[in-house]
């Protein structure tokens, strides 16, 4: 089995989606001849032609608006937004149009499109290129929000997103594109949406993360085991909307403590929603308040402060120990 980076796994998934369904097409800025800003669509225009791998003008609202129309007309568009911070230009097309098609038409129409976009920090990108805005879309009923943390999940989740009958926002942690390799089967496969992954089983505290926070969480888990004799259970949410509530609740009922880790700003972040869920459904099991490790309530900082702004394993270890010793 080949070991691929996340970038290679995504490229393979896109190629197989195009091969498997002639309704699938890709559109976005520089996705064709240049292969995308991170080369995720590299080589696809040579295999499938410019009518299925479409270079668009520099107009994010036009990319998503066109995709909504194509999807409602029976196609399966995959739109690429070069960086998540540019998603603001498309909010009307996503939140007011794509996410509401099924509800507005009483089920007569749907918009089966995938919007792919890199997100998150850690690569010293300019302003508005590194924001983690997932909570905006988790707060938007009608659209699923998905983010992988490894190459295997990236391929399987993307193919599942293409199959989905409703719009999916597919968030790709850009600092993980080429961070490591993973065994990825050559044949197409699906990782089901809405199902979290219990990465490690444990007994003392549940660590919950997603996307680029997962390597941080796993590093903290290693340190907790090696230095503190604390056995954490680790959950990768994989799908942020809808949440796999059952897996979260079941884990916290077992460990009786939880810490949520994300690099988005703290206030109104998804960590608050997870903490509320645990409080509502596992309150009588809790031995400590639910902890949160997050970014700060500021705009994403300039590159020289990036490492100070992003959550790190030391913060996660401290939060986990605070929960265990409460």
Report the catalytic residues. 129
Burial class (CB in 10 A: 0-12, 13-18, 19+), 233: buried
Check if the beta carbon of residue 219 is closer than 8 Å to that of residue 35.
no
What is the total residue count of the chain? Answer: 326
d(C-alpha 248, C-alpha 278), whole Å: 8
Check if the beta carbon of residue 15 is closer than 8 Å to that of residue 188.
no
Q: Torsions phi, psi of 298, nearest 5?
A: -140, 165
Helix (H, G, I), strand (E, B) or coil at 233: strand
121-145 core/surface letters (b: 16 or more CB in 10 A; e: else): bbeebeeebbbbbbbbbbebebbbb
d(C-alpha 144, C-alpha 141), whole Å: 8
């Amino acid at each position: 089995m080949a070991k691929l980076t996340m970038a290679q796994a995504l490229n393979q998934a896109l190629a197989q989606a195009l091969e498997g369904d002639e309704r699938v097409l890709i559109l976005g800025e520089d996705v064709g001849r240049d292969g995308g800003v991170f080369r995720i669509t590299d080589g696809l225009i040579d295999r499938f032609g410019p009518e299925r791998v479409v270079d668009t003008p520099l107009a994010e609202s036009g990319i998503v608006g066109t995709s909504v129309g194509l999807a409602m007309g029976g196609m399966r568009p995959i739109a690429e937004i070069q960086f998540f911070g540019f998603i603001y230009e498309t909010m009307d097309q996503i939140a007011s149009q794509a996410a509401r098609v099924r509800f507005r038409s009483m089920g007569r129409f749907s918009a089966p499109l995938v919007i792919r976009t890199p997100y998150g920090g850690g690569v010293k990108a300019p302003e508005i290129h590194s924001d983690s805005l997932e909570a905006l879309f988790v707060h938007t009923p009608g659209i699923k929000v998905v983010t992988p943390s490894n190459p295997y999940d990236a391929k399987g989740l993307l193919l599942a997103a293409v199959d989905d009958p409703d719009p999916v926002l597919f968030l790709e942690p850009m600092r993980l594109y080429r961070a490591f390799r993973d065994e990825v089967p050559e044949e197409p496969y699906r990782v089901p949406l809405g199902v979290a992954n219990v990465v490690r089983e444990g007994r003392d505290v549940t660590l919950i993360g997603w996307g680029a926070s997962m390597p941080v969480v796993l590093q903290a888990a290693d340190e907790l085991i090696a230095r503190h004799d604390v056995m954490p259970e680790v959950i990768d949410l994989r799908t942020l909307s809808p949440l796999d509530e059952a897996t979260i609740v079941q884990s916290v009922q077992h460990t009786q403590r939880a810490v949520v880790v994300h690099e988005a700003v703290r206030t109104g972040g998804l960590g608050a929603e997870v903490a509320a869920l645990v409080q509502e459904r596992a309150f009588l099991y809790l031995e400590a308040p639910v902890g949160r490790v997050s970014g700060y309530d500021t705009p994403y900082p300039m590159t020289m402060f990036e490492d100070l702004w992003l959550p790190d394993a030391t913060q996660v270890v401290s939060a986990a120990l605070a929960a265990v010793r409460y």
